[in-house]
Amino acid sequence: MPLVDKLALLNREIEKHVRPDTFPLAIRVLRPGEEAPTKAKRPVRDLQVQISICQGITMSRRYGWAIAMGGEDLSCPIAKAAFHFEEPVSFYTEGNLAHGMYAETLACAQLTEAEVPRFSKEESGTIVVSPLSRATFEPDVVVVYGNSAQVMRMVAAALFKTGGSISSEFSARADCADIIIRTIQMDSPQVILPCYGDRVFGQTYDHEMAFSFPYRMADDVMAGFTGTHKGGVRYPIPSFLQYQAKYPATYEKLNDMWKE
- The amino acid present at 47, given as its one-letter code, is L
Give the pLDDT of the chain (260 residues) as one tens digit per residue. 899 999 999 999 999 999 999 999 999 999 999 999 999 999 999 999 999 999 999 999 999 999 999 999 999 999 999 999 999 999 999 999 999 999 999 999 999 999 999 999 999 999 999 999 999 999 999 999 999 999 999 999 999 999 999 999 999 999 999 999 999 999 999 999 999 999 999 999 999 999 999 999 999 999 999 999 999 999 999 888 899 999 999 999 999 999 98
Dihedral of the alpha carbons of 210, 233, 215, 190, in degrees to the nearest 10: 40
